Structure 1
């Protein structure tokens, strides 16, 4: 009984929240500021508030603070406590934003902002305070079902090979590597019309990008678009994050991220926070205090966007360095109250550190699968089986994302390893049947970047890689419409009587199977006992479908033999029993 009574009494933290609400003036709401002129220069005031917010969308409020500080990034912090409709309390922070319109510096500007992502319907309350004792305030907003998003990508709780919104709603990622580093310097509406809208029209729900946390490569913009409005796109000057933040860059990044968020497209940052690999600001040039500041500031600005689909340090790092990627990820884990995905990108996933609790998914390449020497295996980087094995080796109980599959990128890799569109299609299937997600790219160049034409996005008749886009779409359609992918696991051990490392199986044994057979290769498949009557052969190039005969299995040790309709194309066999 005593335990029941204790549970019925609100927590001390709750009563402190209630008392604070009464003690702190209602800044920006009911108080008449003209009646208090004695301390007007020192008071803070809510000036702009989002009063209604869709669930999993971004609440924002702007606050003026007219006090003078030597460095407004560090001399004072804006701390906020939010109370959910259920009574749950969440502590977060706001951030200094110059004049609130993309200008200002460590001295100039008087606008701070608070952002938040509500996950419960109903009225949310919040109390804000300043760490230097400047009077704070309180307010509220309504979280509505109208205009709500899906939430934050996490590992699927029931089968962590796959991603799911909030861990419960599985989603198959149709992902593209959009490489316009400097595109945030171009006219935003042109980028929406000629780049992002194309992805939305073709069903993409995920982009890997280089402009989020902008540090380098600013001349990589769309040459068939308008001239850049600016090439000054570095977030901060090396070693001086807490005094040189570029508000215009933050504004531009957030404009892009917000549009993608509102249109259901998740974003994975590829280049991350260490510019050392790309002639940008070097992470290790930041002191421990500067690193801590940067992550606090970064999470305050970006974490309230639900579509942030992976904090990443940078490409091709070790995974276990406290001074670099591991330390960064620990800071993110500390300050990101929304628990967005966290990773490091591993070039050699044969041995990895994805077992560490700081990492919540794996981002990998397909190197060092056949040999520890690059020179020995370079000719194999175009092969589908290296992608398949890399995905299986990268799995440590968390989703695997093939971030840089060499056959999957026309940009950079195809001309280096002589990969073809056949290799791209087969490598995509190799990842999918390994129970992994992947991103691909149909651009021709790193520089000389175009949105349209032969070398641009693969959505126009002039671009030969529209064939690859169709092949990726066939995978997406099968995953979305033909099977329950979230129940399935890679099951190559069920296969026999085929050429080694060429045929792959994904299965929920006894219920559903997918087998990828390049060039119609014959194979045998061990099936659980049962009747499989909803069976189809799908041409992986064209999507053409051919009915497959019903199969009755006794569940004996003898596998069932299958022969594809022909050997002129790659085939996918879908077998379905009692789902």
Structure 2
């Protein structure tokens, strides 16, 4: 499990920029990226010498003396300068080459020793050491450390205690199908719009049977054969995500689809083998693991995922782990006691009828967050912008996306939210209906879908949330005296506040009037209206105590602060 830290005292400070803040010279952002990526590669390679930076990936290569089976379980025990023991797995990288990757978190001399059940010459009983030194601080992860769960279990933070606001973009196919130049263009756009994570798929799956080179991650069912060359291509894409100050969120084993291309439907032992390989290969990067994707977690499947989770992550230090369920499902009760499960993400899905809307703001997430143990709760798949809605058969608009995002932020203790653009998630290069997603609508090419207005609105959302102590917010509709909550689900007003009574955030999807019981937020002295379409703020003056009238009938955010 991630190390627990003291409560945070700091947060990111994002500049308030004019509307087209991501439209300035692309060459400037490309040069920044190239410098960061070069440093990332340099710091990974520096382990060939004697030094590696703190919170920078260390990599060591072993050469097997013979053809060691790729299923060999090679363990690498690392001992920190203070004497702490951390176990990592080595992974096969083709031929006789095996590697181990790791991020050291203490300055000083680290030692390592390998072990295996069987004797594998060149791999067993190998020893060595390296020096961990101060890093250059060129990425947010080098400055603040890897991402982990905060001590209270409600949100994510960096290793130094800095809160991490999750704003993920969905590029399930992006790392699989993009070339390096296009991937850089996309990541630069998302970084400049203040996204903090990228959700992607790490193997073939139902919307990409192979990568552009015709490679697949694995072949076989009962006897899995892993193809390192597929992952060697993926390495550069995941490295680029981190170099752009973005957390990578790989789906290890997508679960919905035909067994011939769906790793989540492999036999448990073979699925475990593949997940162990992916964890070993990318555990030295800055990641949050999505163990399963689009699974229904029916009773007969729960044991399957428990066994995999325990085998891959149990009783060892690892990056945060979550499970991705199907739409409007809350499958987590059977997993409550699984220590390896750190974060609860859900999919509110792509519907737009009243039941779909009510599920977001008043469904299971709004109730289950009170159950122990506490875990961050995040809507990782609200409706995708420009995706055809299930009921109305109309494309989801930027307004639909904003509404779902703010409801999702305020239906449980605030931890973050994800976004998706139809055409980006499937990485289309021309107008097309994504593979095996009939009914979702013709998707724009990724470079056009990347500019849909909802992504701009998400940048404003990030600016708002990171300007306040968002990690202190919890749902508190008792503050709301009117409207009563019995209105049309599409007009639901969500309210969250801090326990100290010094912060309030309310989302009004259709403007109008709200009446607040301000005695429940005694430290709040200043109110402002935040326009989620433009990122602009204006003073909010009550008509009479506790009564606020939105500027118009569009959606607005009311923010109350101590000063």
Give TM class, smaller chain: 0.7 to 0.9
1:563 aligns with 2:560: no
Measure, in 1, the Cα distance between the counterparts of 2:430 and 2:149: 33
Partner of 2:496: 506
- Structure 1 residue matching 2:253: 3-state secondary structure: coil
| One of 515, 518, 523 as aligned partner of 2:514 | 523
- Structure 2 residue matching 1:161: 3-state secondary structure: coil
The residue correspondences of 1:531-546 to structure 2 (distance < 5 A) are 532-546=524-538
Task: Answer yes or no: is the 8 Å Cα contact 1:317–1:325 preserved in 2.
Answer: no
| One of 367, 373, 378 as aligned partner of 1:401 | 378
Deviations 1:154-186 (A, max 9, x none): 33213x3322224932111121111325x5355
Relative to structure 1, the CA distance from residue 386 to residue 271 in structure 2 (aligned partners, 3 Å threshold; closer, same or farther) is farther
| One of 352, 362, 366 as aligned partner of 1:389 | 362
The residue correspondences of 1:219-238 to structure 2 (distance < 5 A) are 228=212, 230-238=213-221
Relative to structure 1, the CA distance from residue 471 to residue 57 in structure 2 (aligned partners, 3 Å threshold; closer, same or farther) is same
Partner of 2:466: 480
Partner of 1:7: none
Measure, in 2, the Cα distance between the counterparts of 1:86 and 1:215: 43
CA root-mean-square deviation: 3.4
1:361 aligns with 2:338: no
Moved more, 87-96 or 444-453: 444-453
Measure, in 1, the Cα distance between the counterparts of 2:540 and 2:321: 40
Measure, in 1, the Cα distance between the counterparts of 2:463 and 2:502: 19
- Structure 1 residue matching 2:154: 3-state secondary structure: coil
Deviations 1:441-485 (A, max 9, x none): 123487671499992457xxx66964212221221111111x101
| One of 187, 190, 195 as aligned partner of 1:204 | 195
Partner of 1:240: 223
Partner of 2:36: none
The residue correspondences of 1:46-61 to structure 2 (distance < 5 A) are 49=48, 51-61=50-60
| One of 97, 109, 114 as aligned partner of 1:123 | 109
Measure, in 2, the Cα distance between the counterparts of 1:134 and 1:95: 15
Relative to structure 1, the CA distance from residue 296 to residue 123 in structure 2 (aligned partners, 3 Å threshold; closer, same or farther) is same
TM-score, structure 1 normalization: 0.74
The residue correspondences of 1:437-456 to structure 2 (distance < 5 A) are 437-444=416-423, 449-450=428-429, 455-456=444-445
Relative to structure 1, the CA distance from residue 299 to residue 193 in structure 2 (aligned partners, 3 Å threshold; closer, same or farther) is closer
Partner of 1:27: none
Measure, in 1, the Cα distance between the counterparts of 2:347 and 2:386: 15
Q: Per-residue deviation at 1:66?
A: 2.2
The residue correspondences of 1:145-544 to structure 2 (distance < 5 A) are 145-147=134-136, 149=141, 150-158=144-152, 160-166=153-159, 168-180=161-173, 183-188=175-180, 190-210=181-201, 212-218=202-208, 228=212, 230-241=213-224, 244-270=225-251, 272-274=253-255, 276=257, 280-286=261-267, 288=269, 290-305=270-285, 307-318=286-297, 321-334=301-314, 337-349=317-329, 352-353=332-333, 354-358=335-339, 359-366=341-348, 379-380=353-354, 383=357, 385-390=358-363, 391-395=365-369, 396=371, 397-406=374-383, 408-411=384-387, 413=389, 417-418=393-394, 419-434=396-411, 435-444=414-423, 449-450=428-429, 455-457=444-446, 466-481=452-467, 483-498=468-483, 500=485, 501=489, 502-509=492-499, 510-527=501-518, 528=520, 530=522, 532-544=524-536
TM-score, structure 2 normalization: 0.76
> Highest CA radius of gyration, 1 or 2?
1
Q: Per-residue deviation at 1:322?
A: 4.5
Measure, in 2, the Cα distance between the counterparts of 1:444 and 1:93: 36
Task: Answer yes or no: is the 8 Å Cα contact 1:208–1:270 preserved in 2.
Answer: yes
Measure, in 1, the Cα distance between the counterparts of 2:421 and 2:179: 23
- Structure 2 residue matching 1:549: 3-state secondary structure: coil
Measure, in 2, the Cα distance between the counterparts of 1:447 and 1:478: 29
- Structure 1 residue matching 2:466: 3-state secondary structure: helix
Measure, in 2, the Cα distance between the counterparts of 1:308 and 1:185: 20
Unaligned runs of at least 5 residues, structure 1: 1-45, 99-108, 222-227, 368-373, 553-558
Deviations 1:301-360 (A, max 9, x none): 22222x221232121322653542222222222275324323342534456425232422
Task: Answer yes or no: is the 8 Å Cα contact 1:79–1:128 preserved in 2.
Answer: yes
Measure, in 2, the Cα distance between the counterparts of 1:88 and 1:447: 43
Relative to structure 1, the CA distance from residue 386 to residue 291 in structure 2 (aligned partners, 3 Å threshold; closer, same or farther) is closer
Partner of 2:63: 64
Aligned residues: 484
Measure, in 1, the Cα distance between the counterparts of 2:362 and 2:99: 46
Moved more, 313-322 or 536-545: 313-322
Task: Answer yes or no: is the 8 Å Cα contact 2:423–2:449 preserved in 1.
Answer: no
Measure, in 2, the Cα distance between the counterparts of 1:529 and 1:234: 53
Measure, in 2, the Cα distance between the counterparts of 1:287 and 1:172: 34
Task: Answer yes or no: is the 8 Å Cα contact 2:178–2:427 preserved in 1.
Answer: no
- Structure 1 residue matching 2:52: 3-state secondary structure: strand
Partner of 2:85: 89
Measure, in 2, the Cα distance between the counterparts of 1:427 and 1:283: 28
Measure, in 2, the Cα distance between the counterparts of 1:547 and 1:165: 33
Task: Answer yes or no: is the 8 Å Cα contact 1:209–1:269 preserved in 2.
Answer: yes
Measure, in 1, the Cα distance between the counterparts of 2:121 and 2:252: 38
1:573 aligns with 2:555: no
- Structure 1 residue matching 2:135: 3-state secondary structure: coil
Measure, in 1, the Cα distance between the counterparts of 2:274 and 2:516: 53
Deviations 1:102-134 (A, max 9, x none): xxxxxxx11111222211122212123453163
Relative to structure 1, the CA distance from residue 365 to residue 274 in structure 2 (aligned partners, 3 Å threshold; closer, same or farther) is closer
Measure, in 1, the Cα distance between the counterparts of 2:430 and 2:194: 17
- Structure 2 residue matching 1:308: 3-state secondary structure: coil
Partner of 1:23: none
